[in-house]
Structures are given as structure tokens and as C-alpha cells.
Amino acid sequence: MINNRTIVAWLKLAARSMEENKGYLTDLDAAIGDADHGINMERGFKKALTLISPVEDRDIDAILKTTGMALIGSVGGAAGPLYGTFFLDAAKALSHLNELSNTDLVLLFESGLKGIQRVGKAKPGDKTMIDTLQPALEALRSAFAYGTDLIEALRWMVQAAKEGMESTIPMVAKKGRASYLGERSAGHQDPGATSTYLLIQCLLDAVESQS
């Protein structure tokens, strides 16, 4: 079961993961971007933790909305609006819930993905976070349709996210700062796809820790 405590645990693990992987994400971004993705993500999730503290016991949408606003307000570059929109659109879709059903969890990621696509105008194959998030969502849907339990479904999701992240390595970037490099962007893993994978892994970790 995913409840408001699980969501808070997820965000705390995400903040820790972004801190631990700050250098790695920044190195990935240095190859094809502005060399600040790790720094920005670490700062944004740290800010989110301070702001969600007063709303930890409220409905899930309040926690997600607060997170989205924190990321928009503190994360530089494209990542702030994209990640912020993910959480804000997810919050709109999940009003006044303290627990998420399997259908609600799919809706969280579906709404977040649509928000990112609306803001970033990216599609699969453009070498962005979409290349991690879309296959992850499809795996989650398939797992639930197959009848797996929550943890197993999240494991499917994490595996698909990992494969999606790695699929960005040979791609030529079509969006963002990396697109300026043209063919030279091939051969590098996309930093946004990587931070998205880390975020999904943290959700699995949060659910497993509470099971």
C-alpha cells in the first residue's frame, strides 16, 4: 500500500539519492549540457524536504503539490519546470487521497508524464527523461494488468526505467542544451533520464522499506 507516509519516505530517499549522485549527474551533464544537473537536483529536493515537513500528515496531493512548487522555485534550467510540473500535475489528478490504489499510482505517473510532455514538447527517442519515464509507466501498467503485487510491479517499473535510461546513450539529442551538439551528443547517457531512473528506484525502496 502507498499512503502519505510512503510518499514522504519516497521524497526523503530521493533527496538522499540526489545528494549521493550529485557528482555523477553533474558529470553526465558536463558531457552534453551545462554541468549543473546534479547540483540543481540536489538543491531542489533538499528544498522540497524543508517545505513538505509541515504537510507530511496531509493528503497526498498536498505533499506532491508542495514538492512541485519547491522544485520549480529552486531547480535551475529545464529540470525545475519539468520535474515541478510532474509533481503538480500528479497532485491535480489525486485530490484528497491518503492512500493510492494501483490505478491511482498509474494515474500519478501518467499525469506527471503528460505534464512533462506538455511543457517540454519531447517525445520518445529525443534523448530526455521521457525515454525513462514512458517505458517505466508502460511496465507498471503491464505488471498490474498481469496481476502482480505492488512491489513486483515496481520492480518491473525500475527495470524498464533502467533500460530506458541506458537507451539514451546512442541517441542523438533532439531537445534541450544537448541538442546543440547534434551527432556529438550520441554516446552519452542523458542526465535527466538518469535522475528520473533514480527517482523511480527510490519509490521502490520506499515501498519495500514499509512492507
Structural domains for the chain: 2-210 (1.25.40.340)
- The residue-averaged pLDDT of 76-83 equals 87
% of the chain beyond a pLDDT of 70: 98
Number of neighbouring beta carbons within 10 Å of residue 69: 17
Which distant-in-sequence residues (6+ apart) come within 8 Å of 145 by Cβ?
none
Paired strand residues for 99:
3
Read off the C-alpha cell for 158. Answer: 525500475
Going through 49-150 in order, the beta strands assigned E by DSSP cover: 99-100
Tens-digit pLDDT profile for residues 84-114: 999 999 999 999 999 999 999 999 999 999 9
Q: Which of 27-31, 33-37, 111-115, 165-169 has the lowest mean pLDDT?
A: 33-37
Of 121, 97, 118, the C-alpha closest to 107 is 97
- Are 55 and 8 in contact by the 8 Å Cβ rule? The answer is no
Question: Which amino acid, 95?
Answer: S
Position 208 confidence tier, pLDDT thresholds 50, 70, 90: very high
